[in-house]
Structure 1
Amino acid sequence: MRKKIVAGNWKMHKNAAQTKELLNELLTQIPAETVAQVIVAPTFINLASAVDNLKHSNIAVAAQNLHQAESGAFTGEISAEMITSVGVKNVILGHSERRAIFNETDAIIASKVNTALKHDLTVIFCFGEELKDRQSGNHFNIVENQLKDGLFHIEAKDWAKVVLAYEPVWAIGTGETASPEQAQEMHQFIRETVRKAFDSDIAEDVTILYGGSVKPDNAKEIFSKPDVDGGLIGGAALNAKDFITIVTSI
C-alpha cells in the first residue's frame, strides 16, 4: 500500500508567532484517524521551533530547500547537516519557483538530491511543465526529462526516501487546476516512466503527489484518482481550516 501524504509548503509566509499559532491549530484540529501523513514546511528560521512543537504528534516537518554543498562560503544558504541537526527529516527539492526564479537547473537539483539522500533526508522531488509545454503537447517530454535528469541517477534502494510531486507550473498560484482526469493521466505516465527506468515494485510503491491550486472544494475528486497519492499544497496550507479539509479528503 502506497503511503498517502498531504504536505503544506508555506513558502515565505508566517513569522515565529504565526507559525506557532498555525501549528497549534493543526495539532488540535486534525482528526486522530486521519489516513494521510501530514507534513508542514515552514521557513528555515522556524524549522527548529516547528520540530519542537510537533515532537509528540504525527505531523512531520520538511525544509523547503537546501544547498548541495556540505558547507562553505555560501552566504544565506542552509546545509543538509544544519537541517537534520534540528530534527528535520524531509526536504522539498526542485520546486518550480526554485527552477524559475533562482535558475536551478536539473543538474543542480540532481546534486541537491544526492546531498539530501547522503544525509538520510526524504526528498519531495518537484517537477512539472509550463503552460507553453502543455499547449504545444510537449508536457510528457518535459516531465520525463525532468525526472531523468534530476532524479533517475539514484540507486534503486534510494527510492525508499523519495516522494514525487507533480506540479504543473501553469496551475501553481494561478487559480487554474489540472482537471482530475489530467492529473490522473500525468500521474499514470509518471508511474510508467519510473517502471521503465527501474522496476514495477518501485513504481507501485512510490508516492506521487499532485500540486497546483488544490483547494477544499476540489481535493476529494483529485485524490480519488488511482495514481494520485495526495498533494503538495501551497496557499491553502496557510489556513488551518482549508488545510485540514484537504488532509481529510483522502
Structure 2
Amino acid sequence: MMKLMAANWKMYKTRAEAVETARLFAELIAGRLPADREVLLIAPFTSLFAVADEIVSAPGVFLGAQNFYPAAQGAFTGEIAPDMLLDAGCAYALAGHSERRHILGESDEFVGKKVAFGLAAGLSMVLCVGEKIEQRKAGELRQVLTRQMEAGLSEIAPDADISTLVVAYEPVWAIGTGLTAGPLDIAEAHGIVRELLRLRYGEKANEIRILYGGSVKPDNCGEIIGIDNVDGVLVGGASLRAESFAAIALA
C-alpha cells in the first residue's frame, strides 16, 4: 500500500510563502521520493491555484483543501464547493479535523455529509477522527472512534467505491502540543479504526489508508509509519518548513 505523507498548513502562509515552501519542498524531494510514497500538500484556499502550479510537474505530489461545504453551489456566503476545489487543482479534501469539530462546532453528522458529498464530487476524502484527553483518561477511546466513524461513513453506501477514502487518526491532545501518542497507543487506535472499517466494508477495508496525526516530526516519523495499520501521517507544525516536511516525506 502506498504511504500518504500529508501536510496540513492550516491558517498559515500568504500566497508567496506557500509558493516558496512548495517550490523548495519539490526541489528537496525531486528524484528521491520512494516508490511507495505519495505526498499531499493541504494549503489555504487563497494559495491553492498557486501551489498547484508549483507541484504540477512533481511526481507523486498532490494538492488538498482543508474544508468545503457539502453543496454543489448556492447562497452559502463564505463557503467553497467541491467543484471549486477541483477547478483549483485539488485531488483531496479534509473533513472532521478536530479543530473544526471542537473550535468551529461541526457535528459528527455534518462531517458525514461532507465525506459522502466530497467523494461523490470526485475528491479523495480524508476523514479525521480522534479523542480528547479526558475521553482517553476515561477509557472512552473505542466509543469515541466508533461514534465518529459510524457518523462519518453513514451516508456512504456500503457497496460504494471506497478506494479514494482515507481515515486520519489524530488524538486531539497530541495536536500542536509537542506530545505524541506512544507506539502502543497508536497501534491500539489504528487497530480499532481498521476493525471498524472491516465491519462495514469487509476485505475492501484493507484498501483504505489510515494516517496518524499528532506532533509528527522528522525524528519520530520513521518509527510511527512502521507501526501496524499506519499508512502515512498527517502533519501540522512540522510541515510548515519545506526542509522538515521533506525529511518526513522521505523518512
- The alignment's TM-score, normalised by the length of structure 1, stands at 0.95
* Matching residue of 1:213: 215
Listed one character per residue, the Cα deviations across residues 166-203 of structure 1 (whole Å, up to 9, x for unaligned) are 00101001111101221111111111111112202x22
Q: How far does residue 31 in structure 1 lie from its aligned partner after superposition?
A: 4.5
Three-state SS of the structure 1 residue aligned to 2:173 is helix
Listed one character per residue, the Cα deviations across residues 184-239 of structure 1 (whole Å, up to 9, x for unaligned) are 11111111111112202x22111100000011111111111121111000000001
Listed one character per residue, the Cα deviations across residues 63-118 of structure 1 (whole Å, up to 9, x for unaligned) are 00000122222211111111111221110111000101111101111111122112
* Matching residue of 2:229: 227
* Matching residue of 1:103: 105
Q: Aligned pair count? A: 247
Partner Cα distance (1:188, 1:203) in 2: 12
In structure 2, runs of 5+ residues without a counterpart are none
Contact in 1 for aligned 2:93/2:123 (Cα 8 Å): yes
1:66 aligned onto 2:65: no
- The residue identity in structure 2 corresponding to 1:10 is W
In structure 1, runs of 5+ residues without a counterpart are none
Q: How far does residue 163 in structure 1 lie from its aligned partner after superposition?
A: 0.7
Overall identity of the aligned pairs, in % = 38
- The alignment's TM-score, normalised by the length of structure 2, stands at 0.95
Q: How far does residue 33 in structure 1 lie from its aligned partner after superposition?
A: 3.6
Contact in 1 for aligned 2:216/2:238 (Cα 8 Å): yes
Structure 1 stretches of 4+ with a deviation exceeding 6 A read none
* Matching residue of 1:115: 117
* Matching residue of 2:39: 38
* Matching residue of 1:248: 250
Q: How far does residue 244 in structure 1 lie from its aligned partner after superposition?
A: 1.1
Partner Cα distance (1:118, 1:154) in 2: 9
1:173 aligned onto 2:176: yes
Q: How far does residue 56 in structure 1 lie from its aligned partner after superposition?
A: 1.0
Three-state SS of the structure 1 residue aligned to 2:94 is strand
Q: How far does residue 157 in structure 1 lie from its aligned partner after superposition?
A: 3.0
